[in-house]
Amino acid sequence: MKNIYSNIFSFNKKTLHKSITNLKKGNVVGLPTETVYGLAGNAYSKKSVNKIYKLKKRPKFNPLIVHYFNYKNAEKEVVLNDNFFKLYKKFCPGPITFILKKRIKSKIQSFVTANLNTVAVRFPSHRVVRSILKKIDFPLAMPSANLSSGVSPVNAENVADEFKKNIKLIINDGKSKIGIESTVIDLTGKPKILRPGIISPEIINKILKTRINIARKNLKFKSPGMLKRHYSPGIPVLLNQKTFNTKHAFITFGKKYKNKKNYFNLSKKSNLKEAASNLYETLRKIKKLKFKKIYVVKIPNKSIGIAINDRLKRASHE
Protein backbone atom coordinates (compact mmCIF):
# COMPACT_ATOMS: atom_id res chain seq x y z
CA MET A 1 0.00 0.00 0.00
CA LYS A 2 1.28 3.46 -0.89
CA ASN A 3 2.12 5.63 2.05
CA ILE A 4 -0.17 8.65 1.72
CA TYR A 5 1.34 10.26 4.81
CA SER A 6 4.55 12.21 4.21
CA ASN A 7 5.48 12.12 7.90
CA ILE A 8 5.30 8.33 8.46
CA PHE A 9 8.55 6.36 8.10
CA SER A 10 9.30 2.70 8.59
CA PHE A 11 11.87 1.68 11.16
CA ASN A 12 15.45 1.28 9.96
CA LYS A 13 18.95 2.54 10.78
CA LYS A 14 18.35 5.81 9.01
CA THR A 15 15.05 6.61 10.73
CA LEU A 16 16.45 5.51 14.08
CA HIS A 17 19.22 8.05 13.62
CA LYS A 18 16.74 10.69 12.45
CA SER A 19 14.55 10.12 15.54
CA ILE A 20 17.52 10.52 17.85
CA THR A 21 18.70 13.70 16.09
CA ASN A 22 15.22 15.18 16.40
CA LEU A 23 14.87 14.28 20.07
CA LYS A 24 18.29 15.80 20.81
CA LYS A 25 17.17 19.03 19.15
CA GLY A 26 14.11 19.23 21.40
CA ASN A 27 11.66 18.11 18.74
CA VAL A 28 8.94 15.53 19.31
CA VAL A 29 8.63 12.20 17.52
CA GLY A 30 5.71 9.76 17.21
CA LEU A 31 6.89 6.34 18.35
CA PRO A 32 5.38 2.86 18.53
CA THR A 33 5.32 1.11 21.90
CA GLU A 34 3.84 -2.22 22.92
CA THR A 35 0.88 -0.46 24.61
CA VAL A 36 -0.12 2.40 22.28
CA TYR A 37 1.76 4.90 20.10
CA GLY A 38 3.45 7.70 22.02
CA LEU A 39 4.47 11.31 21.43
CA ALA A 40 8.06 11.37 22.65
CA GLY A 41 10.25 14.24 23.77
CA ASN A 42 13.32 14.84 25.93
CA ALA A 43 12.10 14.84 29.56
CA TYR A 44 14.97 17.20 30.51
CA SER A 45 14.12 19.77 27.83
CA LYS A 46 11.60 22.51 28.50
CA LYS A 47 11.17 23.10 24.77
CA SER A 48 10.46 19.46 24.12
CA VAL A 49 7.99 19.00 26.97
CA ASN A 50 6.19 22.24 26.12
CA LYS A 51 5.68 20.96 22.59
CA ILE A 52 4.10 17.77 23.89
CA TYR A 53 1.54 19.63 26.01
CA LYS A 54 0.81 22.10 23.24
CA LEU A 55 0.38 19.53 20.48
CA LYS A 56 -1.86 17.33 22.62
CA LYS A 57 -3.75 20.32 24.06
CA ARG A 58 -3.13 18.61 27.35
CA PRO A 59 -3.81 20.49 30.57
CA LYS A 60 -0.58 21.21 32.42
CA PHE A 61 -1.89 19.58 35.60
CA ASN A 62 -1.85 16.21 33.85
CA PRO A 63 1.66 14.73 34.28
CA LEU A 64 3.55 12.62 31.75
CA ILE A 65 5.14 9.19 32.02
CA VAL A 66 8.94 9.19 31.85
CA HIS A 67 10.53 6.29 29.94
CA TYR A 68 13.92 4.72 30.62
CA PHE A 69 15.97 1.91 29.14
CA ASN A 70 16.42 0.17 32.51
CA TYR A 71 16.24 0.82 36.27
CA LYS A 72 19.88 1.90 36.42
CA ASN A 73 19.04 4.94 34.33
CA ALA A 74 16.07 5.75 36.57
CA GLU A 75 17.66 5.37 40.00
CA LYS A 76 19.37 8.74 39.94
CA GLU A 77 16.01 10.47 39.52
CA VAL A 78 13.57 8.43 41.60
CA VAL A 79 13.66 6.36 44.78
CA LEU A 80 13.35 2.66 43.96
CA ASN A 81 11.93 0.36 46.65
CA ASP A 82 11.33 -3.37 47.31
CA ASN A 83 7.92 -3.48 45.70
CA PHE A 84 9.39 -1.81 42.65
CA PHE A 85 12.09 -4.44 42.25
CA LYS A 86 9.62 -7.31 42.69
CA LEU A 87 7.44 -5.98 39.88
CA TYR A 88 10.36 -4.83 37.74
CA LYS A 89 11.91 -8.29 37.79
CA LYS A 90 8.67 -9.90 36.68
CA PHE A 91 7.28 -7.43 34.14
CA CYS A 92 10.01 -5.14 32.83
CA PRO A 93 10.63 -4.10 30.23
CA GLY A 94 6.88 -4.07 29.71
CA PRO A 95 3.46 -2.43 30.07
CA ILE A 96 3.60 -1.24 33.68
CA THR A 97 4.19 2.28 35.03
CA PHE A 98 5.44 2.95 38.56
CA ILE A 99 4.72 6.07 40.58
CA LEU A 100 7.84 6.72 42.64
CA LYS A 101 9.27 9.53 44.78
CA LYS A 102 11.26 12.06 42.82
CA ARG A 103 14.81 12.82 43.96
CA ILE A 104 15.66 16.45 44.63
CA LYS A 105 18.53 16.34 42.15
CA SER A 106 16.36 14.92 39.38
CA LYS A 107 16.78 16.71 36.06
CA ILE A 108 13.22 16.00 34.89
CA GLN A 109 11.34 19.16 33.90
CA SER A 110 8.98 20.14 36.72
CA PHE A 111 5.93 20.30 34.50
CA VAL A 112 6.55 16.75 33.25
CA THR A 113 5.36 15.77 36.71
CA ALA A 114 2.86 18.65 37.03
CA ASN A 115 4.97 19.88 39.97
CA LEU A 116 4.27 16.73 41.96
CA ASN A 117 7.03 15.22 44.08
CA THR A 118 6.48 11.89 42.31
CA VAL A 119 7.38 10.62 38.85
CA ALA A 120 5.61 8.03 36.69
CA VAL A 121 8.33 5.73 35.35
CA ARG A 122 8.08 3.07 32.64
CA PHE A 123 10.49 0.73 30.85
CA PRO A 124 8.88 -0.06 27.50
CA SER A 125 9.72 -3.33 25.74
CA HIS A 126 9.11 -2.26 22.15
CA ARG A 127 12.18 -2.63 19.93
CA VAL A 128 11.92 0.85 18.42
CA VAL A 129 11.69 2.83 21.62
CA ARG A 130 14.27 0.58 23.31
CA SER A 131 16.80 1.08 20.56
CA ILE A 132 16.33 4.84 20.91
CA LEU A 133 16.53 4.81 24.73
CA LYS A 134 19.72 2.80 24.52
CA LYS A 135 21.44 5.50 22.49
CA ILE A 136 20.39 8.71 24.28
CA ASP A 137 21.45 10.13 27.62
CA PHE A 138 18.07 11.54 28.66
CA PRO A 139 14.74 9.86 29.42
CA LEU A 140 11.70 10.27 27.18
CA ALA A 141 8.54 12.00 28.34
CA MET A 142 5.94 10.20 26.28
CA PRO A 143 2.16 10.37 26.62
CA SER A 144 -0.11 8.62 24.16
CA ALA A 145 0.05 10.33 20.76
CA ASN A 146 -3.51 11.65 20.62
CA LEU A 147 -5.28 14.92 21.37
CA SER A 148 -6.10 15.18 25.06
CA SER A 149 -9.21 13.23 26.18
CA GLY A 150 -9.45 11.30 22.89
CA VAL A 151 -8.84 7.69 21.88
CA SER A 152 -5.22 6.49 22.04
CA PRO A 153 -3.51 5.60 18.73
CA VAL A 154 -2.55 1.99 18.00
CA ASN A 155 -0.84 2.53 14.65
CA ALA A 156 1.18 5.21 12.84
CA GLU A 157 -1.78 6.34 10.70
CA ASN A 158 -3.82 7.04 13.85
CA VAL A 159 -1.01 9.35 15.03
CA ALA A 160 -0.88 11.18 11.68
CA ASP A 161 -4.68 11.57 11.74
CA GLU A 162 -4.49 13.14 15.21
CA PHE A 163 -1.78 15.72 14.55
CA LYS A 164 -1.81 16.08 10.75
CA LYS A 165 1.26 18.02 9.56
CA ASN A 166 2.06 19.35 13.04
CA ILE A 167 4.30 16.41 13.65
CA LYS A 168 7.17 15.81 11.25
CA LEU A 169 8.30 12.31 12.12
CA ILE A 170 6.31 9.22 13.04
CA ILE A 171 7.98 5.81 13.11
CA ASN A 172 5.75 3.04 11.84
CA ASP A 173 6.21 -0.41 13.27
CA GLY A 174 2.75 -1.85 12.79
CA LYS A 175 -0.10 -2.21 15.24
CA SER A 176 0.66 -1.89 18.96
CA LYS A 177 0.43 -5.43 20.33
CA ILE A 178 -1.32 -4.65 23.60
CA GLY A 179 -3.51 -1.82 22.36
CA ILE A 180 -4.35 -0.17 25.71
CA GLU A 181 -2.20 1.95 28.01
CA SER A 182 0.09 0.59 30.72
CA THR A 183 -1.06 -0.43 34.18
CA VAL A 184 -0.18 2.46 36.51
CA ILE A 185 0.69 1.51 40.07
CA ASP A 186 1.49 3.92 42.87
CA LEU A 187 4.37 2.51 44.96
CA THR A 188 5.01 5.56 47.14
CA GLY A 189 3.01 4.00 49.98
CA LYS A 190 0.73 1.00 50.17
CA PRO A 191 0.61 -0.13 46.51
CA LYS A 192 -2.44 1.10 44.66
CA ILE A 193 -3.48 0.72 41.03
CA LEU A 194 -4.22 4.13 39.54
CA ARG A 195 -4.98 2.87 36.05
CA PRO A 196 -5.78 -0.78 35.30
CA GLY A 197 -4.08 -2.39 32.31
CA ILE A 198 -3.07 -5.68 30.79
CA ILE A 199 -1.07 -6.58 33.92
CA SER A 200 -4.08 -7.27 36.10
CA PRO A 201 -4.61 -6.69 39.85
CA GLU A 202 -4.79 -10.48 40.38
CA ILE A 203 -1.30 -11.06 38.99
CA ILE A 204 0.16 -8.06 40.86
CA ASN A 205 -1.39 -9.37 44.09
CA LYS A 206 0.42 -12.64 43.56
CA ILE A 207 3.81 -10.97 43.13
CA LEU A 208 3.45 -8.49 45.98
CA LYS A 209 1.63 -10.99 48.20
CA THR A 210 -0.94 -8.38 49.23
CA ARG A 211 -4.37 -7.27 48.16
CA ILE A 212 -3.87 -4.07 46.28
CA ASN A 213 -6.64 -1.55 45.78
CA ILE A 214 -7.77 0.00 42.57
CA ALA A 215 -8.18 3.73 43.11
CA ARG A 216 -11.76 4.69 42.36
CA LYS A 217 -12.04 8.28 43.40
CA ASN A 218 -9.83 11.03 42.16
CA LEU A 219 -9.76 13.09 45.36
CA LYS A 220 -6.46 14.78 44.94
CA PHE A 221 -5.08 14.65 41.45
CA LYS A 222 -3.15 11.44 41.16
CA SER A 223 -3.20 10.23 37.62
CA PRO A 224 -4.27 11.66 34.26
CA GLY A 225 -5.79 8.34 33.26
CA MET A 226 -8.21 9.06 36.08
CA LEU A 227 -9.76 12.06 34.39
CA LYS A 228 -13.43 11.22 34.15
CA ARG A 229 -13.76 11.89 30.45
CA HIS A 230 -10.91 10.29 28.59
CA TYR A 231 -10.48 7.84 25.74
CA SER A 232 -13.56 9.39 24.18
CA PRO A 233 -14.45 8.69 20.53
CA GLY A 234 -16.48 11.95 20.43
CA ILE A 235 -19.91 10.29 20.11
CA PRO A 236 -22.14 8.86 22.88
CA VAL A 237 -21.14 5.44 24.21
CA LEU A 238 -23.78 3.42 26.08
CA LEU A 239 -22.54 0.59 28.27
CA ASN A 240 -23.99 -2.77 29.41
CA GLN A 241 -26.56 -2.86 26.62
CA LYS A 242 -28.65 -5.92 25.80
CA THR A 243 -30.82 -4.53 23.07
CA PHE A 244 -30.02 -1.70 20.74
CA ASN A 245 -31.30 0.44 17.96
CA THR A 246 -30.25 -1.00 14.59
CA LYS A 247 -29.18 2.41 13.29
CA HIS A 248 -26.31 2.47 15.74
CA ALA A 249 -23.01 0.66 16.15
CA PHE A 250 -22.98 -2.30 18.52
CA ILE A 251 -19.74 -3.43 20.17
CA THR A 252 -20.02 -7.11 21.07
CA PHE A 253 -17.90 -9.76 22.77
CA GLY A 254 -18.11 -13.55 22.31
CA LYS A 255 -19.26 -15.99 19.66
CA LYS A 256 -23.00 -15.65 20.13
CA TYR A 257 -22.99 -12.43 18.11
CA LYS A 258 -23.43 -12.77 14.35
CA ASN A 259 -21.55 -10.85 11.70
CA LYS A 260 -23.65 -7.84 10.84
CA LYS A 261 -22.45 -4.63 9.31
CA ASN A 262 -23.07 -2.59 12.44
CA TYR A 263 -21.75 -5.26 14.84
CA PHE A 264 -18.13 -4.93 15.95
CA ASN A 265 -16.89 -7.95 17.87
CA LEU A 266 -13.95 -7.27 20.19
CA SER A 267 -13.22 -11.00 20.48
CA LYS A 268 -15.24 -13.86 19.04
CA LYS A 269 -13.24 -16.21 21.29
CA SER A 270 -14.24 -14.19 24.37
CA ASN A 271 -10.56 -13.49 24.93
CA LEU A 272 -10.09 -10.35 27.04
CA LYS A 273 -6.54 -9.75 25.87
CA GLU A 274 -7.67 -9.81 22.26
CA ALA A 275 -10.63 -7.57 23.14
CA ALA A 276 -8.31 -4.99 24.75
CA SER A 277 -6.08 -4.94 21.68
CA ASN A 278 -9.09 -4.31 19.40
CA LEU A 279 -10.84 -1.70 21.54
CA TYR A 280 -9.36 1.60 20.30
CA GLU A 281 -9.21 0.53 16.66
CA THR A 282 -12.89 -0.39 16.90
CA LEU A 283 -13.84 2.97 18.43
CA ARG A 284 -11.96 4.80 15.67
CA LYS A 285 -13.46 2.63 12.95
CA ILE A 286 -17.01 3.26 14.19
CA LYS A 287 -16.43 7.01 14.31
CA LYS A 288 -15.03 6.96 10.77
CA LEU A 289 -18.09 5.09 9.53
CA LYS A 290 -20.12 8.05 10.85
CA PHE A 291 -22.27 6.17 13.33
CA LYS A 292 -23.88 8.58 15.77
CA LYS A 293 -23.96 6.35 18.85
CA ILE A 294 -22.17 3.28 20.17
CA TYR A 295 -23.90 0.57 22.17
CA VAL A 296 -21.66 -1.84 24.06
CA VAL A 297 -22.55 -5.24 25.58
CA LYS A 298 -21.51 -6.05 29.12
CA ILE A 299 -17.83 -7.04 29.24
CA PRO A 300 -16.78 -9.39 32.10
CA ASN A 301 -15.30 -7.25 34.87
CA LYS A 302 -12.37 -9.44 35.81
CA SER A 303 -8.67 -9.54 34.95
CA ILE A 304 -8.05 -7.52 31.75
CA GLY A 305 -11.80 -6.86 31.58
CA ILE A 306 -11.30 -4.39 34.45
CA ALA A 307 -9.02 -2.32 32.20
CA ILE A 308 -11.43 -2.54 29.24
CA ASN A 309 -14.36 -1.45 31.41
CA ASP A 310 -12.30 1.38 32.89
CA ARG A 311 -11.62 2.79 29.38
CA LEU A 312 -15.20 2.23 28.21
CA LYS A 313 -16.59 3.93 31.27
CA ARG A 314 -14.44 7.00 30.68
CA ALA A 315 -15.21 6.91 26.96
CA SER A 316 -18.92 6.97 27.86
CA HIS A 317 -18.59 9.96 30.15
CA GLU A 318 -20.15 13.04 28.56
Residues that bind ligand AMP (CB under 6 A): 63-65, 99, 113, 116, 118-120, 143-144, 181, 184, 194-195, 222-225
x-or-dash pattern for Mg ion, window 186-225, by CB under 5 A?
----------------------------------------
Q: Of Mg ion, ligand AMP, none, which one sits near residue 73, judging by CB under 5 to 8 A according to partner kind? A: none
Dihedral of the alpha carbons of 238, 33, 146, 50, in degrees to the nearest 10: 140
Residue type at position 23: L
CB nearer ligand AMP, residue 223 or residue 282: 223
CB nearer ligand AMP, residue 22 or residue 144: 144
In order of 189, 217, 241, 317, the CA distances from 205 in angstroms are 15, 21, 31, 29
Residue number with the smallest Cβ distance to ligand AMP: 225
Residue type at position 316: S
Residue 123 Cβ vs Mg ion, minimum distance, rounded to whole Å: 18
Residue 76 Cβ vs ligand AMP, minimum distance, rounded to whole Å: 17
Q: Long-range contacts made by residues 78-87, C-beta under 8 angstroms, separation at least 24?
A: 78/102, 78/103, 78/106, 78/119, 78/121, 79/103, 81/187, 83/187, 83/191, 83/208, 84/187, 86/207, 86/208, 87/185, 87/187, 87/204, 87/207, 87/208
C-alpha 100/C-alpha 90 separation (Å) is 18
Q: Which residues make Cβ contacts (< 8 Å) with residue 294, sequence separation at least 6?
A: 233, 235, 236, 237, 238, 248, 249, 250, 251, 283, 286
Binding residue (CB under 5 A) for Mg ion from 35, 109, 144, 182: 144
Residue 172 Cβ vs Mg ion, minimum distance, rounded to whole Å: 20
Q: Of ligand AMP, Mg ion, none, which one sits near residue 222, judging by CB under 5 to 8 A according to partner kind? A: ligand AMP
CB nearer Mg ion, residue 33 or residue 144: 144
Residue 58 Cβ vs Mg ion, minimum distance, rounded to whole Å: 8
C-alpha 195/C-alpha 28 separation (Å) is 25
Q: Of ligand AMP, Mg ion, none, which one sits near residue 51, judging by CB under 5 to 8 A according to partner kind? A: none
CB nearer Mg ion, residue 297 or residue 312: 312
CB nearer ligand AMP, residue 203 or residue 227: 227
Q: Do the Cβ atoms of 110 and 227 come closer than 8 Å?
A: no
Q: Is the dihedral of CA 137, 143, 147, 148 positive or negative?
A: negative
Residue 303 Cβ vs ligand AMP, minimum distance, rounded to whole Å: 19
State the number of binding residues for Mg ion (CB under 5 A). 1
CB nearer Mg ion, residue 144 or residue 232: 144
Contact residues: Mg ion, CB under 5 A? 144
